Structures are given as C-alpha cells and as structure tokens.
Chains A and B, each alone.
Chain A
Amino acid sequence: MKVLTGMLTRLGRASLFLGKVMAGIPQLFLRFGLVVKQVYSVGVQTLFITLVAGLFVGMVLALQLYYTLSTFGATDTLGMLVDLSLVRELGPVVAALLFAGRAGSALTAEIGLMKATEQLSGLEMMAVDPVERIIAPRFLAGVISMPLLAAMFSAIGILGAYSVGVDLLGVDAGAFWSQIQAKVDFYEDVLNGVIKSFVFGCIVSWIAVFEGYDCIPTSEGVARATTRTVVYSSLAVLAMDFVLTAIMYN
C-alpha cells in the first residue's frame, strides 16, 4: 500500500511538473535558439547510434525475411515487408529505445548534475525560472528530435535491406521498390509511425527531464535517476506501443 501511494504521489508530481514545462513552451518561440542548441545535443548527437542501428536492423530483417519468403517464392515482396516492419513498428520503437538510452540518460544526468551543483538554485536566485530556461527547451528538443530520428532509422534500414536483398541475395531492384510504392500507405503506415514516434518522444523526454529535476542531488541520486530514466522509458515505450498499435490497427 505504501509503495502504491508513493508511486501515485510521484506520478502526480510528475504530472504537475509536465504542466509547468508545457506552460513554459510558448515562451520558447521567442528564444528558439535555446531549443535549436538542445536539438543538436539531444537529436544530432543521437544520430550516429540511430543510423548504425537502423542499418543493421534493416540488413538483418532482409536476411531473415528473404529465407522465409524464398520458401514461398515471394522474395519480390521483401522490400514491402521490410518497409512495413520498419515504418510501423521497428523504426519508432527501436529508435525510441535508443533515444532513451543515449539522449534520455544524458538529459537526466545533465539536469541532475545541474541540481547537485546548485546551478538550478543559482538560476532561481537570479530570478530566472529553471523550468522555463533549462527544462522546457530540452523537453521540446526531445519531442522534435524523436520523429526525425525514427524516420532516419527507417530510411537507413530500408537502404540496409536493399543492399542485402538486392545486391547480396539477388532480389530484383524494381520489384523491391515497386512493392513498397504499391503496398505502403502514407496515412495508415507512415503517418501512424510518425504519430507513434511523436508520442514516444513526449514520454521519453518527460521521464528524462522529470527524473533529472526530481533526483536526490548526490552522485548516487543522479546515478539512480539515470538508471530509472532508461528503465521507465523503455517499459513505457513498449507498453504505449501496444496501446497505440491496438488503437491504430483495431
């Protein structure tokens, strides 16, 4: 009972905190440079791991699907199957898990250390609201970056699948692309994937900034908060993926 009360209290605090962060977002349009700087830190610096992971996921998918499809003589559909897997599921989900591990943990650690070294208190005493100036730009940068990273994950994954399927295994290049063109629907597949990655971006960024802001300002506290960010974000992404998939595809 005590654990449940503690969890609900924390969820309530996190929700109030999210409200404060959202209230600070309109002001950021006047200082968009703060967001651009964070998009570089949160998004661009996560690009490398996202692209490499996307490439290998696409290549592995092509290998696995090719051997299954070849038993039915349906290898021409390889491109379409890889594309659907990436755009609908693997792109948003795996990119969000990588984002939580790379950017989410960095956000929590950075904010936690700012708290531990009194930088947030220092801002407050300078009559500057740290939620507006420090937290909101990082949250918004995460929300903006996540769909872009997921899109790039899927794009490079398709190229990886092409290199394995067409160049290595001999699938017809025309069939590879034309099947994608014919069977992948922009609204049902691509847009739903974008919506998923946007939701995941909100969740991971929310958890990351809250854990940093709420952590105990010691080295152990920051370490625990960073771990919690990765664990909670990953679980939340997987659970929310099920909910969104159930809603989107009935």
Chain B
Amino acid sequence: MSDPLVQIHDLHFSRGDKKIFDGIDMEIRSGRITAVMGPSGTGKTTLLKLIGGQLKPDAGEIIVDGQNVHQLKRADLYRLRKKMGMLFQSGALLTDLSVFENIAYPLREHTNLNDALIRNMVLLKLQAVGLSAAHGLMPAELSGGMARRVALARALALDPMMIMYDEPFTGQDPISLGVLVKLIRETNQALKLTSILVSHDVAETLSIADDVKIISEGKVVADGTRDDIVQSESPWVRQFIDGEADGPVPFHYPGASIEQQLLQGVA
C-alpha cells in the first residue's frame, strides 16, 4: 500500500454559522486516483481549497507531502503549490491570453526557459490533451470540454506531483466526458501522479477512481476502495450511489414542517 501524500486530521471549517466540516480525517494515497464524492453543497470544492491553502481551517491540520499547509510561510506555500496542479470547474483560463499563452504562463513565471523551449513544452502538453492545433485560439472560442482540457494541460505545465480536479465532468456532452475520463486516467498513470477528483458524477468517477471518500453533513460517511464503496450496504452510500431522492440526506430542507408553517403563517 502506497504512502499517504495528503493527510487530513480533525478538520473543522465553518462559513458563518454553517458548519462545513466537523472533524473529518482523511488520507489520500500517492499514485492513486481518489474520488471525493458527496451531495451538492457538502464542501467538496472547499476541501480542495483547504488542501491548496486558499482557505484556512478553524481547527485541525492538513499535511501535504510532509508539510503542514497552514503553517507554511507564503514563499513555502507557493513552493508547495508549484507541485500541485488544480483543474477548476470553470477551467479558470486567463481570458485575455490565448490557449498557448495560458499554458506558457506558469512556465514563464517559474522557470528561466527560453522561448523556443517553452514553445516546445507547451505544444507537447497540448498534444497530450489533443489540442496542439488549437494553440492559437482564445478561451472564448473554446467549448466547455476543450477549456477543461486546456486547463488540464496548464495544470500539468510544471510537472506537479498531484492534481486536484474540481467537478471536471459537470455539464459535459458524452464525447467530452469520455475524453476527460480517459485523460484523467491516462495522465495519472503515465505521469505517476496523485489525483484528487471531486465530483458527484457517480458512474464516470467510479470508472476511474481507485479510492473513494463520500462526505455528507460535515463528516466522512464512507471511505474505502472503489469495490468497497460499490458493494457497501451503508444507507448513506446506497442513497448516493443509487441516486435515491430520500434517505439519510432528506428530500425536504430541514426546518419547520409544512403543517406548522401553514398554521403559523410562517413564510
């Protein structure tokens, strides 16, 4: 069994009065694709931002590659981030730069490579995602799926040790979806990366994940390999995997019942 690259201990995080994480523990093993799944609004994206040091937890610690992310000085945090790629849900491409310049951006910022070398590297990264011929396009000219492939190429630009994917499959047509699934799986294998895949697209995610964590209501409600999760009898897991409308995650938003509201005239 491989060593954990990311360790999360007793993590607490709130937004205002709403508790997002209530003491979660988690380990992400290196060289594997770990899916973090859960209903919308459970804090999956927040978890990625906490791992990347963009948000600070109320309590608990996150260790990435042996370093406590939230105790690092800014320069050290930035050094660590160079080893982390992140694929945002929207792609997060810089809209005033072409596809080529978007991928060249981290290389220009963090290396002293000459233009010829940068050009070759950018084209190779684009070739890996099947878009080398699209290097001259602007982000506005790309489809959603293409934008995410470009963003993946950019996330790979600095040859990171891990990549975090934030909802990579949302809103994709079946072809783009298949391409993204293939790219994530092949990239992880070819580059020996560690991938954290946040998603609620069950079928696609389970098709490539090695490990799965399901979070709900601030807790990790299931944690295991893909097979463990698929065969799990836990009502939380079954509701999520089978897409049932009601169960441990209630259909109705918690609060006063409709009878009480009607009788009391509560809006």
Residues of A within 8 A of B (CB): 114, 117-119, 121-129
Contact = CB atoms under 8 A, between A and B. Distances in A.
A121 B89 CA distance: 12
Contact of B92 (A117, A127, A128, A129): A117
Given A119-B95, A125-B54, 17 more contacts: A114-B95, A117-B95, A118-B89, A118-B90, A118-B92, A119-B93, A122-B151, A124-B54, A125-B85, A125-B86, A126-B106, A126-B154, A127-B109, A127-B110, A128-B105, A128-B106, A129-B78
A125 B160 CA distance: 12
A165 to B, nearest CB: 45
A117 B139 CA distance: 12
B88 A127 contact: no
Contacts of A127: 78-79, 81-82, 106, 109-110
A67 B95 CA distance: 53
Interface residues of B, number: 24
27 contacts: A114-B95, A117-B90, A118-B90, A119-B94, A119-B95, A121-B54, A121-B88, A122-B86, A122-B88, A122-B92, A122-B93, A122-B94, A123-B94, A124-B52, A124-B81, A125-B81, A126-B81, A126-B82, A126-B106, A126-B109, A126-B154, A126-B158, A127-B106, A127-B109, A127-B110, A128-B109, A129-B78
Main secondary structure of the interface of B (DSSP, over half): mixed
B84 interface: yes
B227 to A, nearest CB: 32
Contacts of A129: 78
Contacts of A123: 94
Nearest to A129: B78
Contacts of B93: 119, 122
